[in-house]
Amino acid sequence: MNGWVEDELAAIDARGERRRIEAWPTPGPYLNTPDGRFINLAGNDYLGLTAHPAVRDAAARAARDVGPGATASRLLAGTCALHEELERALAAWRGHPSALLFSSGYLAAMGIVPLLADRGDLILADRLVHACLLDAARLSGARLLRFRHNDVDDVRKRLATRAAYRRCLIVTESIFSMEGDSAPWRALLEVALEHDALLLVDEAHAVGVTGPRGAGFTADDPAIEDRLISLGTLGKALASAGGFITCSPVLRELLVNRARTFIFDTAPTPPAAAAALAAVRLIERHPEWAASLATKSARVRTRLSDAGLDTLASHTHLVPVRIGDNEHTMALAARLRTEGILAAPIRPPTVPAGTARLRLSISLAHEDADLDRAVDALIGVVQS
């Protein structure tokens, strides 16, 4: 077997796409190592809550009082009071009728998409949606068509054959993590309503940092009862682990009974649920956090753009700097590391060939002076 495995790895190396795992002492916007302190622009701790005492204490108490693991699926003996309390809190915070927890956002996507579309159905997915949504679409057996990024007219064009399918699902993200832009989801919802389709919006990078109460773009939308389904994660701004879906109560009931990644998966751990619940409560008490993060991010983006760097269409806390060549992107990331700055080099297959980039993830916990230093360093290495 090793021969073909080695051939595959050699091909990956030839394209400059080899990945390697690297361990860090602790997560967060700053990474302390024996070699020094890094400004971490590669993570997704958008509000800096991984280090917040209330979040850490909640997880520790749950581990001590409830246990470190759920030990069973939700439908056997794995559901604890924390799971249900978190689901109620997520639904109320987002202004949606109900929520259902999964062990990860990936599993939430793999559970919901095949339930909404099956053989004989149609899925229209934005060309840049996350891999979990594409994997889920392929698993469903439905016909998958990918529309041009954020192009509502292209969606309408592809819906010309809608009558040939039983059900239709439109899939997008509210914030695209590798582009830093956002979807025209309200226009997509209008199209869904016009064509008797459903709209699934992945809010993974928006929950906690945008929208009403920081609860995401789709918060408070009444269409959630009928045509709009939202997917979110606990592992980014909420500083925990897991995923969730907000939807109508009747769809939640169907998920409980039919979603394989819910039925056959061990329940999320009690410490993860407790940490996420504490994070939600903190964000509810600090509605100003979202605006503060937006201000920090705009400052970084403006400085980079003014220096002539290509930040694509970003207007969020995720700021890409397009480089193009894989090897050059890796070399720039390595040079930044020598200056104590960790910027994620993003290459295919995560992004299209020829569009490799450095992705900057801004956190509310980043000091302005450190962001200025990181921007100065980035401009310097790119322009040198």
Q: Would you name the residues annotated as active-site residues? A: 44, 130, 173, 177, 202, 205, 236
DSSP code of residue 162: G
Beta-carbon contacts of 95 under 8 Å, excluding residues fewer than 6 positions away, are 212, 215, 219, 220, 221
Strand partners, 32: 37
Q: How far is 291 from 274, CA to CA, in rounded Å? A: 26
Q: Is 194 exposed, middle or buried (0-12, 13-18, 19+ CB in 10 A)?
A: exposed
| DSSP helix/strand/coil, 121 | coil
Strand partners, 73: 266
Q: How far is 142 from 120, CA to CA, in rounded Å? A: 6
Q: What is the dihedral of CA 281, 283, 286, 292, to 10 degrees?
A: 170
Q: Where are the alpha helices (DSSP H) in the chain?
A: 2-14, 53-65, 81-94, 105-116, 131-140, 152-158, 185-194, 249-258, 260-263, 270-285, 288-306, 326-338, 368-383
Q: How far is 182 from 58, CA to CA, in rounded Å? A: 32
Strand partners, 143: 122
Q: Are 40 and 28 in contact (CB under 8 A)?
A: yes
For residue 323, the number of C-alpha atoms closer than 13 Å in the C-beta half-sphere is 24
Torsion sign, CA atoms 73, 76, 82, 83: positive
For residue 144, the number of C-alpha atoms closer than 13 Å in the C-beta half-sphere is 17
